[in-house]
């Protein structure tokens, strides 16, 4: 492959990652861009939403009060999201389900015809919901995925992150563990 084709391929991958949440597209102040797109803060009451589950039911955040909840916003076309999903299955869902814990991975602006087969092909068993019009997502952020929110038993945000990095994912898992260990 010649040099110009490699450069074009590299730039295409960078731009795709930036658009979904790897890093902001502008290089002037990426942290400021992410911060400006984030509409919540740790300590805030998590905005309530209802989303259609792939299995035909619905996930209503307010209905999870009293549990520790992980809400993850993602899309099938987003490389950092795709990288994060197996970790959500193994390090979060398989570890914490069955306790006072709820989790939902909310696909942003996608259809069940796209998301259902994608999830099934990978064997993910955690609850998956759809936010086809991005209305629920718009309560939390205006851009960039993946995004994860750990919500305490009282409905307040304990942890939030944008993008996928192993160290930050580890902090999220530790937050879930601590919240579950605390007395209800």
Domain ranges of the chain: 3-181
Question: Which residue, among 163, 161, 157, 180, has the nearest Cα to 171 in the 3D structure?
Answer: 161
Question: Quick one: how far is CA 18 from the chain centroid?
Answer: 15
The full DSSP string for 34-102 is HHHHB---TTSBPPP-EEEETTS-EEEGGGGTTSEEEEEEE-TT-HHHHHHHHHIIIIIIHHHTTSSEE
CATH architecture of 3-181: 3-Layer(aba) Sandwich (3.40)
Beta strands 128-131 and 101-108 are: parallel
Q: Alpha-carbon distance 75 to 96, whole Å?
A: 23
pLDDT tens per residue across all 184 residues of the chain: 554 444 333 333 433 444 475 444 555 788 899 999 999 999 999 999 999 999 999 999 999 999 999 999 999 999 999 999 999 999 999 999 987 999 999 999 999 999 999 999 999 999 999 999 999 999 999 999 999 999 999 999 999 999 999 999 999 999 999 999 998 8
Residue 2: CB partners within 8 Å, gap ≥ 6? none
| Residues 21 and 78 sit within 8 Å (Cβ to Cβ) | yes
């Amino acid at each position: 492959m010649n040099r110009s084709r490699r450069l074009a391929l590299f730039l295409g991958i960078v731009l795709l990652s930036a658009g979904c949440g790897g890093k902001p597209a502008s290089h002037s102040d990426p942290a400021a861009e992410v911060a400006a797109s984030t509409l919540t803060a740790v300590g805030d009451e998590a905005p309530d939403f209802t989303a259609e589950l792939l299995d035909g039911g619905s996930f209503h955040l307010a209905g999870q009060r009293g549990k520790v909840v992980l809400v993850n916003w993602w899309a099938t076309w987003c490389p950092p999201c795709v990288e994060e999903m197996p970790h959500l299955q193994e390090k979060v869902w398989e570890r914490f389900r069955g306790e006072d814990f709820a989790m939902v991975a909310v696909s942003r602006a996608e259809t069940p015809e796209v998301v259902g087969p994608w999830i099934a092909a990978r064997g993910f068993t955690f609850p998956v919901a759809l936010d086809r019009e991005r209305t629920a997502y718009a309560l939390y952020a205006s851009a960039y995925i993946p995004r994860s929110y750990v919500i305490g038993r009282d409905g307040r945000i304990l942890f939030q992150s944008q993008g996928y990095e192993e160290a930050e994912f580890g902090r999220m898992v530790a937050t879930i563990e601590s919240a579950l260990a605390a007395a209800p």
